[in-house]
Structure formats: C-alpha cells, structure tokens
Amino acid sequence: MGASSIMLLLIGAFFLIPSWRDWDWFFDSRRLRLITELLGRENARLTYMILGGAMMGAGLIMALAY
C-alpha cells in the first residue's frame, strides 16, 4: 500500500466520520463555516460525506491496484 493511498484513506475518513456523526467542531471551524453557511448544515454534511467516501474509495482502489 503506497503513501498516497494511505493519505486518501485517512483524509477521506477525516471528512466522512465527522459529517456522518454531525460533530459541531468540524462544521463550526473557521475553514468550513462559509461552506456551511452557503449550503446549509445538512447539505454541507451530505457534500462532505460524498467527498469523504469518494476519497476513501479512490484510496482503496489505489491500494488494491498495487
């Protein structure tokens, strides 16, 4: 398993788990506050769940390809 696949898995998990659990510290952070305000909390959660799942899927595919 390469370093890039591990990084994608970890970053994907970092996006997926807080959005699935609806953790306030994640969505109230300074960097995500604008996205949360523009999309609304539920749509921001859905967006980050999809993004995290896609990153984890890409990391898994990369890990299995090598």
pLDDT mean by block of 10 residues, the chain; 66 residues: 92 96 93 93 96 96 90
pLDDT of residue 38: 95
Number of domains the chain is built from: 1
pLDDT at 66: 76
Query: What is the extent of the structural domain holding 11?
Result: 3-65
pLDDT at 22: 94
pLDDT at 59: 96
Distance CA 5, CA 62 (A): 6
Long-range CB contacts (within 8 A, 24+) of 16-20: 16/48, 16/49, 16/52, 16/53, 16/56, 17/52, 18/48, 19/44, 19/45, 19/46, 19/48, 19/49, 19/52, 20/45, 20/49
